[in-house]
Amino acid sequence: MHHVRLRRFGVAIAAAACAVLLVVSVADAHVVKTFGTYSVALGWVHEPTYVGEQNAVQVVIKDAASKAVTDLNDGDLKVTVSVGGQTSDALPLANKFDPDTGLGVPGDYEAPIIPTAPGDYTFHLTGSIHGTAVDETATSSDATFNSVVGATGIQFPNQLPALTDVITRLDRIDARLASPAPSSAAALAPSSAATEDPAIGAASTAASSAQTAANNALLAGAGIGLVGVIIGLAALAVAVRGRRPAA
């Protein structure tokens, strides 16, 4: 029984040590500020931070005795994210530490986000910690947290197109689909592809010639039919006149 207690105590000490190491490593890549008796570390969960990859804004809170603050409600703290002149809605920070299982980092609060453009990101943290107001703004830099970069450097075996390039191409396709349809005259005119390809150009010319010949034949047939009608009327008039009795 004594050995079991020692084993459990050893496991608890190891878990506590891992938690401390995690908090220290988190603070190394974050900007740390003090509000009242609380210290707040602000940064990304995952660094380096890549475009299009799941990430989160992370806040780790400790009190004056360097003890993790684990009892804040979700949304007591909120953060907005800004880049390139655009600002997100206020994102609530949720407690990621589970005291029942001991999973997670004590004092860790996160707001999930997927950065979709490279650049320097600014976090604006607001709210309160047990009645102490918090208002902190920090921008990515060598002294705070990582800026967001493209992921091509870690893609293997093939590099995917940048998300911004995909959006640009989709915008161009939408613009083409939204443009008005060409007029009937333009539709009948030879396309640039036809002028570039001799076979297509010849086929287009033959089709135009066939259309012209058909129109001419139709006009000729109509003329012949009209002459026939005139001849028939003349013959009928002669016949009628021949049947009249002599005066």
Q: What is the DSSP letter of 151?
A: S
Q: How confident is the model over 19-71, as pLDDT tens digits? A: 443 444 444 589 999 999 999 999 999 999 999 999 999 999 999 999 999 99
Cα first-last separation, the chain = 154
Q: Is the pLDDT of residue 205 over 90?
A: no
User: What's the CATH number of domain 2-153, 2.60.40.10, 2.70.70.10, 3.40.50.2300, 3.40.50.920?
Assistant: 2.60.40.10
What's the maximum distance between 2 C-alpha atoms anywhere in the chain?
155
Contact yes or no for 69/62 (Cβ under 8 A):
yes
**49-82 in b/e burial notation, b at 16+ Cβ within 10 A?**
bbbbeebbbbbbbbeeeeebbbebeeebbbbbbe
pLDDT of residue 174: 86
Extents of the domains making up the chain: 2-153, 193-223
What DSSP string describes 105-135? -TTEEEEEE---S-B--EEEEEEEETTEEEE
CA 125 from chain centre, in angstroms, equals 26
Q: How confident is the model over 121-178, as pLDDT tens digits? A: 999 999 999 999 999 999 999 999 999 999 988 889 998 887 777 878 888 898 888 8
Contact yes or no for 138/122 (Cβ under 8 A):
yes
Pairwise CA distance, residues 204 & 224, whole Å: 31
Coil, helix or strand at residue 101: coil
